[in-house]
Each structure stands twice: as C-alpha cells, then as structure tokens.
Amino acid sequence: MHETRIGRLLARMEELGLDALLINSLPNVFYLSAFTGTNASLLITPRARWFITDFRYHERFAAEARGGWQLHDSAAGLARCIGGLCVPAARLGFEAEQTSVAARERLAACGCELVPTRNLVEELRAVKDSGEIETIRRAVALGEQVFGELLPCIRGGAMEREVAAEIEYRARRLGATECSFKPIIASGRRSAQPHAGFTEQRIQPGQPLTIDMGVVLAGYCSDMTRTVFPGDCPARWRELYAIVLEAKRRGFAASRAGDSGAAADGAAREYITERGYAENFGHGLGHGVGIQIHEAPRLVWTEKRLLAAGNVVSCEPGIYLPGEGGIRIEDMTLVTEDGPQNLNSLSDELMVV
C-alpha cells in the first residue's frame, strides 16, 4: 500500500525532472509512511528513501513506519542532512505550500537546486484506496454513535460548551483518537454563523441548534452537521429546513465522477437561489475529507477540476439569516464509478429533540 503510493510519487517526480523530493507536511508523511509523530521529513530519490527525524521518535519510527524507509537522525539540522544525502546541485523538490519563507532560506544551505512543488502528495491523497474508504466508513459510524449519545444533554438545556465537552469525551471513550476539529455548537441566533465555535450560551427551545462535529479514527476524519430543534420547530424554520435538505439532495446527486466540483456546488446553489436565498449561502457545498478535515477536492464554484471515483467529499449546504439563525445539513459522500454513495446512515430529516 505505502509502496504503491511512493511508486506513484516517484513517477510524478520523473515527469517533473526532480532528482529528489522533500516532504515536510505531517499529513503527507503519515500518508507515505504511517508515522504519527510530530517531527519528520521524508527525502525520496529514485534509489533511496530517507526518514529524517529526531531522537524522540526513533522508536516510534521503528514501530510504525511502512514503505521501506531508512532512518536518518536530524540532529545536524535538515539542510546539512539533505546536503549529505543528495548529490551536489541535485534538483530537489520541496512542498511550496507547506514551507515558510524562513524554512526555505535555511534549506538553501543544502547545496541543491530548490524546486517548488505544489500538491503532489495531496493529489494522490484525494483518491482514496479501499483500505482508506473502509477506515473512513468506520470513522463516520463512530461520529454518528457519538451524536446519538448527545440527545439527552440537548433536551436538558445544556450550555453549548457542555455539549462540546460531551462530544470530545464520548469520542475518545468510544475509540476515536480525537475530534477532527473543535466542535461547532451554535444555538439560536448564533447558528447564523457557519463557523460559530461554542460559547456558554444555554440551548434554547424552539430555535435552531447546529451541531457540526467529527472524529479521527486510525488517522482518518469524519465530518457531519445536523441542525436540530430542541422542543419544537416553528413553521418558518421547517420551511427553511426543507429547502436546505432538497439542496443537499441535489448537491449529493451531482457529486459524480467526471463532473466538476463547481457542477456539484451549482446543483445545490441553483435550488437555494431559486428559493430566494442566494445571499444566505456564502460558502462552498463541500470539501474533501481524509487524513485532514479539509483537503482536495473542493466542491465550490471556482473548482473546475473533475471529481474522480475514490474522492470522499462533504455535502453541506446551508442557509444563514443574520440576527435570526441558520440551518446546515452535512453528510459525507463517496464518489464511485456508479454514482455518489452517502457514507452516513443517520437520517437527515428534521429532528425535534
């Protein structure tokens, strides 16, 4: 599995005329080696695969690393390590999006010709293999299990912060390593903010409550949103909920291999626009989900690239009314040759809890 990924990367390096490639991004390091520590760089050449890390991680490297990597201690500094491992003036690719200006300056001392690269590993990561899809399915199921356990504390009129704490506690207790992001618990008017975080506000009956949460299982994220109504749902919110739900179904159906991310976004957006809420859906329809909570591909009006079988993306339209509140519904979609598949099994119908 890791061999296959490294093989694909070597083919891309050859196309770009690179003698060596430096990978610094930890999600990319995990993808290529299964290593979960917080300091590591990979140096890949057609003939050697070096894993550069410090003393703290030598044992973890031995326990976790897959893909035929050879350990190289980083005590001398990254540039000097690379200088010693590469032939002088080699064309060395580095991850431009992941490298600070200061790190780029330090790297110059290695004596190689530095060639910026963009998204080489991220593009590979966008197409999940069967093992990754299986892990994501398990993460999604675990996230839904956590959500199911929340309902009693919502009914009890808890604070947003307490609901967030329940999510974090229950996720770990049920087997997640952590949450894939800080949960969003937005009640009442605060639900008009797409990324509201959580506060000390108490959950109010008869007003929308948006819960956006995910877990990490075996290195892979889940992501799900439900807007629920504690106690009661007034007619106006029922109407808005029905619009968001129909937009979600259209966006899901349009998440097809061979169509663009913009087309999927457009299918949901067109419906929300028709119903008069164009100004109230200001974010994209979705994003790739995998080792990172937000990754390629994107379902947004600017995304011209085509979806491919193996992409895992969210589908999360919303309508946000400033000063009143908002509704978002989010599931995860697997793009397949035979059309989109919903990875979630929890109902997306309106829930009065």
Binding site for Zn ion (CB under 5 A): 212, 223, 225, 314, 330
Nearer to Zn ion, 5 or 137 (CB): 137
What φ, ψ does residue 96 adopt, rounded to 5°? Answer: -60, -40
Taking the complex as a whole, the smallest distance from the CB of residue 225 to Zn ion amounts, in Å, to 5
Taking the complex as a whole, the smallest distance from the CB of residue 197 to Zn ion amounts, in Å, to 13
Single-letter amino acid code for the residue at 75:
A
Nearer to Zn ion, 160 or 223 (CB): 223
Neighbours of 83 (CB within 10 A): 17
Q: Distance between CA 190 and CA 198 in Å, rounded?
A: 9
Taking the complex as a whole, the smallest distance from the CB of residue 289 to Zn ion amounts, in Å, to 7
Taking the complex as a whole, the smallest distance from the CB of residue 26 to Zn ion amounts, in Å, to 21
Taking the complex as a whole, the smallest distance from the CB of residue 332 to Zn ion amounts, in Å, to 8
Nearer to Zn ion, 122 or 212 (CB): 212
Q: Distance between CA 153 and CA 150 in Å, rounded?
A: 6
Nearer to Zn ion, 53 or 292 (CB): 292
Taking the complex as a whole, the smallest distance from the CB of residue 193 to Zn ion amounts, in Å, to 13
Neighbours of 177 (CB within 10 A): 13
Nearer to Zn ion, 225 or 333 (CB): 225
Residue among 3, 295, 311 nearest 132 (CA): 311
Nearer to Zn ion, 24 or 191 (CB): 191
Q: Distance between CA 332 and CA 104 in Å, rounded?
A: 37
β-sheet with 286-288: strand ranges across: 295-299, 286-288, 312-315, 331-336, 339-342
Q: What angle is formed at CA 8 by the lines to CA 298 and CA 117, rounded to 5 degrees?
A: 60
Nearer to Zn ion, 24 or 344 (CB): 344
What are all long-range contacts of 144-153, with beta carbons under 8 Å and residues at least 24 apart? 144/224, 144/344, 144/345, 144/346, 145/174, 146/170, 146/171, 146/174, 146/176, 146/213, 146/215, 147/211, 147/213, 147/224, 147/226, 147/346, 148/346, 150/211, 151/353
Taking the complex as a whole, the smallest distance from the CB of residue 211 to Zn ion amounts, in Å, to 9
What φ, ψ does residue 4 adopt, rounded to 5°? Answer: -60, -45
Taking the complex as a whole, the smallest distance from the CB of residue 188 to Zn ion amounts, in Å, to 19
- Token code pair at residue 21: 């490639």
Nearer to Zn ion, 49 or 287 (CB): 287
Nearer to Zn ion, 67 or 251 (CB): 251
Nearer to Zn ion, 22 or 140 (CB): 140
Residue among 226, 205, 243, 231 nearest 321 (CA): 243
Taking the complex as a whole, the smallest distance from the CB of residue 184 to Zn ion amounts, in Å, to 7
Judge whether 17 and 37 are in contact, CB under 8 Å.
Answer: no
